[in-house]
Amino acid sequence: MADRRPVATEDIDWSAPPATRRAPGRSRRDGGRIGSVEVLAVLLVALVLLRAPIAGLVSAPWLQTWTTVFVSVLVQAVPFLVFGVALSAVIAVFVPRSFWARALPKHPALAVPAAGVAGVVLPGCECGSVPIAGSLIRRGVAPAAALTFLLAAPAINPIVLTATAIAFPNNPGMVLARGVASLAVAVAMGWLWLRLGRADWIRLPHRPHLDDRSRGRAFWAACRHDLMHAGGFLVLGAAAAATINVAVPESWLRGLAGNAVLSVLALTALAVVLSICSEADAFVAASLTQFSLTARLVFLVVGPMVDLKLIAMQSGAFGGRFAARFAPATVVAGVLIGSGVGLVLL
C-alpha cells in the first residue's frame, strides 16, 4: 500500500486525480490479482469450518479472560467510536470552514484555552475524540487547539466528574483537583505545541478528498475511512490492554505503594497500560487504596490522555512521529501538574 500504484489496487478513491483513475468498468475487476474480497471470503469460510478447534484453543482460563477483556474493551468503546466518527464526518462535510474561524479566537494562544473549555462541556470519550480532533485539523483549526480539545474532552466532562465524585465520597477535593489538573495539562500541552510543535510531525492519513459533489457520498466515505482506520487501531490498543490486564497481577504493585515518588510513577504506568475508559477509571482509582491520593490523582489525569489504546489510535490518526513525541510529553506534563495540584489541593 506504500505506493498506491494505480494498476495494483482497486482502492483508488473516486476523487483521485483523473490520471490515476481507472476506467469505471475496469476498476471493478483486478485482472488476475487476488483481491481483498476473495481473501476475506476464504478467511471467513476457513474460520467457520475451523470453529471447533479455534474454540478449543481458547479454553485455558487466562486465554478466556484475555478474550473477555479484549472483546469488552471493544464493545464498550464501539458506540463512542461510531458516534465520534459520525460527528467527525459531520464536521468534515457539513460544517463550513469559516465556522471554525468565527467560533475560535483568532490568536492560537487564545484558541487553546477556548478549545480546552469546549472539551469540558462536550461529553466525549477518548475513542471518539481522536477522529474528531483529526477532523478539526483538516478543517483548518490550529493543531494546538485541536490537540487541547483531544486531551480535555475525555478527561473533564460532566459524566467523568460525576463518576469521580461518586467514587471518592470522602474526598470531594478529588473532583476539583481532577478538573483543574486535567484542564491545566490540556492547555499546557496546547501551548507547548504552539512553541515547540512542528506541522510536519502530524501526518493525517490519506482520506477521500471531500470536494466531491455529493455530500452524501463524502459523508459515508469519511465514515467508512475513519471507522476502518480508528477501529483497527482500537483493536490493537484493546489487545495490548487485555494482555496487561491478564499478565500483570495487581499484587506486583503493592511493593511500590509505600514510596511517594515510586507510587506516583507506578500508577502513571498503570494508567498508561490499563487503558480504562475515562468514565470508569475513578472507580478503579478508588479501589487502589494502598496508594496516596496524589498518586491516584495522577492516575486519573494521565489515564484519559495517554494509554496504549490512545497511543495506537493517535499514531494511526496523526502518524507515528507525532505520537512518539506527544504521548511522552503528555505523560510528563500529567505527572508534574497532577503531583503539583495533588500536593496543594489534596
Question: Among the candidate windows 47-55, 109-117, 146-154, 335-343, which touches other proteins by CB under 8 A?
Answer: 47-55
Residue 264's Cβ-count burial label (10 Å; 0-12, 13-18, 19+) is: buried
- Rounded to whole angstroms, the Cα distance separating 197 from 130 reads 18
Residue type, 187: V
Question: Which listed residue (5, 8, 11, 261) binds other proteins by CB under 8 A?
Answer: 11
Interatomic CA distance for residues 226 and 328, integer angstroms: 25
Using the minimum distance from each CB to other proteins, give the nearer residue, 107 or 209.
209
Tell which one of 217, 293, 336, 345 touches other proteins (CB under 8 A). Answer: 217
How many residues bind other proteins (CB under 8 A)? The answer is 110
Q: Show the DSSP H helices in 104-250 as ranges.
A: 108-121, 126-138, 143-155, 158-167, 173-196, 215-247
CB of 267 to other proteins, least distance (A): 13
Compute the distance between CA of residue 223 and CA of residue 218 in angstroms, rounded to an integer. Answer: 9
273 scored as a contact of other proteins (CB under 8 A)? no
Altogether, the residues listed in the chain come to a count of: 346
Rounded distance, CA 264 to CA 105, Å? 36
Identity of the residue, 224 or 336, whose beta carbon is nearer to other proteins in the bound complex? 224
User: What is the x/- site pattern for other proteins, positions 52-91, by CB under 8 A?
Assistant: --xx--x--xx-xx-xxxxxxxxxx-xx-xxx--x-----
Nearer to other proteins, 184 or 322 (CB): 322
Interacting positions 274-293 with other proteins (CB under 8 A): 274-277, 279-281, 283-284, 286-290
Q: By the 8 A CB rule, do 204 and 133 touch? A: no
Identify the residue among 111, 153, 184, 241 touching other proteins (CB under 8 A).
241
What is the per-residue binding string for other proteins in 170-199, x denoting contact by CB under 8 A? x----------------------------x
CB nearer to other proteins: give 217 or 325: 217
- Contact between residue 45 and residue 52 where contact means Cβ atoms under 8 Å apart: no
Q: Which of 207, 273, 324, 336 binds other proteins (CB under 8 A)?
A: 207
- DSSP character for 18? G
Is 37 an interacting residue with respect to other proteins (CB under 8 A)? yes
When asked if residue 4 is in the footprint of other proteins (CB under 8 A), the reply is yes
DSSP code for 340: H
| Residue 32 is a binding residue for other proteins (CB under 8 A) | no
Site for other proteins in 88-147 (CB under 8 A): 93, 95-98, 138
Q: How far out from the chain centre does Cα 3 lie?
A: 27
Half-sphere exposure (Cβ direction) of 142: Cα atoms closer than 13 Å: 25
Which is nearest to 287 in space by CA: 272, 306, 307, 267?
Answer: 267
Residues 248-267 contacting other proteins, CB under 8 A = 249-251, 254
Per rule CB under 8 A, is residue 212 in the interface with other proteins?
yes
Give the nearer residue to other proteins in terms of CB position, either 43 or 110.
43
